[in-house]
Amino acid sequence: MVRIGQIAVGEFPVILAPMEDVTDSPFRSICRDYGADVLITEFVASEGLIRDAWKSRMKMQFEPKERPLGIQIFGSNIESMMKAAEAAGDAGPDFIDLNFGCPVRKIVMKGGGAALLQDIPKMLAMAGAVVKSTKLPVTAKTRLGWDDRHLEIVDIAERLQDAGICAISIHGRTRTQLYGGKADWTLIGGVKNNPRMIIPVFGNGDIDSGAKAKEMKDRYGVDGILIGRAAIGNPWIFSEVKAFLEDGRVLPPPSVSERIRILRLHLRKSLVYKGERATVFEMRKMYSGYFKGIAGFRPYRVKLVTAGSSEEIESIIKEIEESDKT
């Protein structure tokens, strides 16, 4: 049984990777329905938590069914990260996750996320300080290194473990790769096979099927996997991956009616959670996933991503539903 601290998370946990404007509570709860073992929030800015900003508080809201759940925080100031961990702990998650891997320029330019891969001593000091500031388990998510000349993850992972991190998730790309190219799991395997590593090592990058998940599990021996972009608008990937890992079953893709049912559920939950404006905007990235592989969807996608209200979205969904019946 894999554990994050004392929290049992399954024999081989399949984890929803944290993604900004994606892994909010409505989407997380749906992924849990389809079998995600561990859920992690969108990343929350430490400075926003300290200021008690409304958006930061909202990101930390979750339903009881979402457990085990981690709140991911990021920042560049060690003292602020300690205070943020305390504030996040007050929201009642199961663990705190430290974002040492986000490659987005606006985060990196402020010294957060993957920027800490350029200052390993500061990363380690931050990890240790946060561990001491909370009674909750603390995990970390990072990348292979800043660029191809600085692939230091095997050493970094061991030193994070020494600082008190109780599980590590590694994206198989450098910061300079962003999300381009192919994820390299070789060094993730190197971390897992380091005899001095005793904490769980989770791999992330390009997992988009049960077969790919099993290949990474068997080849690199990781303790679990994270699924990120392949889950966007595609929450059933968790049930597909787990079925394949369990006994090699390849589940059929969901019917159009099932896709519509889940999309409507997602839309309703999001409207309650964040209101009309944000829902209409943020749902746009979901539609291609929800209807991937469905013949004739392209014209509907254009309508959906240009829709200006939830009523208009529902009207377009009804068109898709009627088209499927003919």
Active-site positions read 102
Interatomic CA distance for residues 105 and 88, integer angstroms? 24
Interatomic CA distance for residues 64 and 58, integer angstroms? 15
Q: Do β-strands 3-4 and 168-171 pair in parallel, antiparallel, or remain unpaired?
A: unpaired
What are the residues whose beta carbons fall under 8 Å from the beta carbon of 240, sequence distance 6 or more? Answer: 209, 210, 250, 251
User: How far is the CA of 228 from the CAs of 17, 109, 181, in angstroms?
Assistant: 5, 23, 15
Q: Which of 290, 304, 298 is nearest to 258 (CA)?
A: 290
What are the residues whose beta carbons fall under 8 Å from the beta carbon of 50, sequence distance 6 or more? Answer: 80, 83, 84, 87
Interatomic CA distance for residues 235 and 240, integer angstroms? 10
Residue 136 is given by DSSP the state S
Interatomic CA distance for residues 182 and 7, integer angstroms? 32
Say how many C-beta atoms besides its own lie within 10 A of residue 129's C-beta. Answer: 16
User: How far is the CA of 261 from the CAs of 22, 35, 133, 283, in angstroms?
Assistant: 19, 17, 43, 15
What are the residues whose beta carbons fall under 8 Å from the beta carbon of 257, sequence distance 6 or more? Answer: 321, 324
Residue given tokens 């929350």 in the structure block? 44
